[in-house]
Structure formats: structure tokens, C-alpha cells
Amino acid sequence: MTNKLEGEAREAALTELSAAGWSLTEDRDAIRKVFKFKNFAEAWGWMTKIAIVAEKMNHHPEWFNVYNRVEVVLTTHDALGLSELDLKLARKMDA
């Protein structure tokens, strides 16, 4: 089981992610970001690449795609909130 981020580690991570466009969701302990692409094919290609990364990590995003836009929410259900897994996956999505 993965531990929930707390204290200084959490604050530092949220500061870093906020600078990259991630924000806390209002309804639960999760982070959210909207990615925009040139078109549907580019968005779908990015999702495919991230799906492979997520599967290898055994950590899967909640996401919603419409045309060139992908909304992503990351949280760790086992930890009941944000964990190091969410940070790693967010960084990979941003890379």
C-alpha cells in the first residue's frame, strides 16, 4: 500500500505541481490538469503513451477526452488521497 502525502513533502510537491499547471480539486484529495493539443489524433496519441506508462506503474489516471482536450485527475484510492505515485505520474505527463 502507498502512503498518503502529508506535511512538508506534500506542500513542496503541491508548489512544484502548481507551477506546472496542476491544481487541487475541490471535492477530494486529488490534483487536476487540462492538457490541450492541436487535434484529436495528437490528444489520443498522448493518452496512448501515458496509458503505457501508467500500466507499468500500476497507477491509472482518471481522464476525460473531448477532441483536443484531455482533463486528468490523479489520486491514489488506496491511500485515500495524494501519494508519491500521483507525483510521479504527473511529472511523466508533463514531460
Q: Tell me, what CATH number does 83's domain have? A: 3.30.1360.20
Domain that holds residue 67: 7-94
Q: Is residue 60 part of a domain?
A: yes
Distance CA(17)–CA(87), nearest Å, equals: 8
Structural domains of the chain, count: 1
Judged on CB neighbours under 10 Å (0-12, 13-18, 19+), 52 is exposed
pLDDT more than 70, % of the chain: 100
Which of the four pLDDT bands, split at 50, 70 and 90, describes residue 91?
Answer: very high
Global pTM reads 0.93
Write down the pLDDT at residue 2.
87
34-45 per-position pLDDT tens digit: 999 999 999 999
pLDDT more than 90, % of the chain: 98
